[in-house]
Structure 1
Amino acid sequence: MREAFAEAHRLLGPDALILDSRRRGREFEITVALDPEVPQDAANPWRQALSFHGVPAEIATAWADQSPDEAVSGAFAFGKLDFDRPLIIAGPPGAGKTMTTVKLATRFTLSGIRPTVINADQNRAGASAQLAALCRILRAEFIDTAANTKAIRRRPAALRPTLIDLPGMDPFDNAEMDTLRSMAEEVGGTVALVLPAGLDATDSVEIASRFHEAGATSLIPTRLDISRRLGGLVATAGAVPLTLTEAGTSGRVSDALEPVTPAFIVERLLAASTASDAVAHAA
């Protein structure tokens, strides 16, 4: 038995624990356990969260030894949407531009302000009818550029908030980006990029960079209700000079956009990785 104990410690080290021992005829059987090494990330929830979300290595390294609030607030620009001028809602196809437009219009209506909503999306079938129906419910002024091509020209937004819903645009099509740039200049508006979370980090940065070059100054991330990993959002906010403003966290019209703050980002980074651990332990 002493030889068996010695062999166990030789194989597993002096920290091996003898849990059980028994004699089987001329042989001895022992049960030995060894505490597994705890990875550094597992012992540090913040490091673990950065790994879980696929935050780019250069950002994760810079943030690893900082407190979450300090890291996020120091890396990103936060602000509010500008409604003093027409707000142009732009982004790639399927990003949630129309939903974002309706959520903003709903907010103004509930505040007693009647907004103007301009539909500039003539590509998606039924887009105009859908937006018109929602505007009737909200009692918002609705203008369809298909019927009135001059409606999108420079408007005095100070009289009432003006929201312009664009069609999905290909950020790598120079002609479409030129159209966005020209439109912003023509209406004297500001461009907010609507970008879904959950994209590959490199793709997200490249898309945002192209829209920024075409005039986008603020960022509205969407699909935060179904996107578990936010590495793409973190990479984009860190690499492209866009102001984080509000976020879409629900696919329901009745749920408002949420203000994006450092606490908002930190909470979602930590919550998703913690939930993942809980699922893994249950499994």
Structure 2
Amino acid sequence: MRLKTFTAPSMGEAMAQVKLHFGPDAIIVSTRTDDDGVGVRITAAHDHRDSDQDYPAPEPQAQSGRDPLDIISEALAYHNVPADLADRLVDAAAESPGDKATLKLTVAVNRVFKFDGTDRQQPLTPQLMVGLPGAGKTVAVAKLATDAVVNHQALTVITTDSIRAGGYEQLAAFTNILDLDLLRADDPDSLKAAVIAAGQGKCLIDSAGANPFDSQEFERQHRLIQAIDCAPCLVMAAGGDTGEAAEMAEAFAAMGAVRLIATRLDIARRIGAILVAADTGNLILDGFSATANVASPPQRFNAISLARILLPQNESELSQESPSWATINSQNAVA
């Protein structure tokens, strides 16, 4: 399955591009006016995985005979997605054309969740990682830093983790390998000074784990966020309870979090908590980590990759004894 965005001065010209590239079977996922107010942007999908040729003849339909909405409903139930969110996804899938579960779910998650189409190689506002202790914030920073160095990006790495024993040393072990200086900021003023010194390059900020329901810890983290112009990113481990995830996401969103990186998808069997967190906190699904290898950066979430993670490898077979779907499907995820 392929997902591609087309930009043109008019809707007719954009649709012509879609038809030329994907053919008459293309599925329109979304349409919107371009950022500058001139022209339109269409995101379209086609159920074909080759990327270097125009649209092929339609593939034979699956012979399972199963209703794709039943497949989607069972998959969402497996992942412990709460009924209200599952109903919204199934309703969105029902409105999409086609008869394949993967394509229908791709359209559905694109309508329900927010994804980031920004080029990761472009410098953004500083990314400050927040989350519970042990969620994987430091490793997420190390992975993103490695990716930036490999791609020859100007990079500054800062840690505000002056509370946890060994917090500075853990990240320093990674930055030393990358031949980077690790800056330390113990308070909002020193963090602001460090970010200003970083200039226009990419800036990654690690923070101590925080309990968002503890007023002192909430305030300490919130003051750091307020001190700089940043894009706080909630780092959350997959496999948790959906009710807890909803409350955590709501609390961290109130703190300022706008993005979400999911960790431990290599060992988690169910990711309903991640979906609930993104939905409740109105968070952009930024990326996911499916390996402990620091040299592998978090993969980008998009509608196709999320649909493939949610569905089993074989759409017609759902088994609670199957291996981790995330492990299987992350290999096929479109970054």
Q: Shorter-chain TM-score category?
A: 0.7 to 0.9
Bigger drift between 86-95 and 118-127 goes to 118-127
Aligned residue for 1:219, secondary structure, equals strand
Quote the Cα distance in structure 1 between the aligned partners of 2:126 and 2:88.
38
Deviation for aligned residue 1:124: 2.5
Bigger drift between 197-206 and 129-138 goes to 129-138
Quote the Cα distance in structure 2 between the aligned partners of 1:246 and 1:64.
23
In the alignment, which of 134, 143, 146 is matched to residue 106 of structure 1?
146
Q: Would the aligned equivalents of 2:126 and 2:229 in 1 still touch at CA under 8 Å?
A: yes
Aligned residue for 1:228, secondary structure, equals coil
How has the CA–CA distance of structure 1 residues 197 and 273 changed in structure 2, closer, same or farther, with 3 Å as cutoff?
Answer: farther
Matching of residues 86-235 of structure 1 within 5 Å? 86-145=126-185, 151-154=190-193, 155-156=195-196, 157-235=198-276
In the alignment, which of 77, 80, 98 is matched to residue 114 of structure 2?
77
User: Any idea what the Cα deviations from partners look like across 1:99-140, whole Å, max 9, x if unmatched?
Assistant: 000011101100112411112112322221221121111122
Deviation for aligned residue 1:267: 0.5
Gaps of 5+ in 2: 1-65, 94-103, 323-335
> How many residue pairs get matched?
240
Gaps of 5+ in 1: 1-39
Q: Would the aligned equivalents of 2:130 and 2:210 in 1 still touch at CA under 8 Å?
A: yes
Partner of 2:332: none
Larger Rg: 1
Deviation for aligned residue 1:220: 0.8
CA RMSD of aligned residues (A): 2.5
Deviation for aligned residue 1:58: 1.1
Partner of 1:22: none
Aligned residue for 2:279, secondary structure, equals helix
Amino acid at match of 1:71: A
Partner of 1:9: none
Aligned residue for 2:258, secondary structure, equals strand
- Percent sequence identity is 30
Quote the Cα distance in structure 2 between the aligned partners of 1:94 and 1:278.
27
Bigger drift between 237-246 and 120-129 goes to 120-129
Amino acid at match of 1:94: G
Larger RCO (alpha carbons 8 Å, 6+ apart): 1
Query: Which has the larger share of helix?
Result: 1
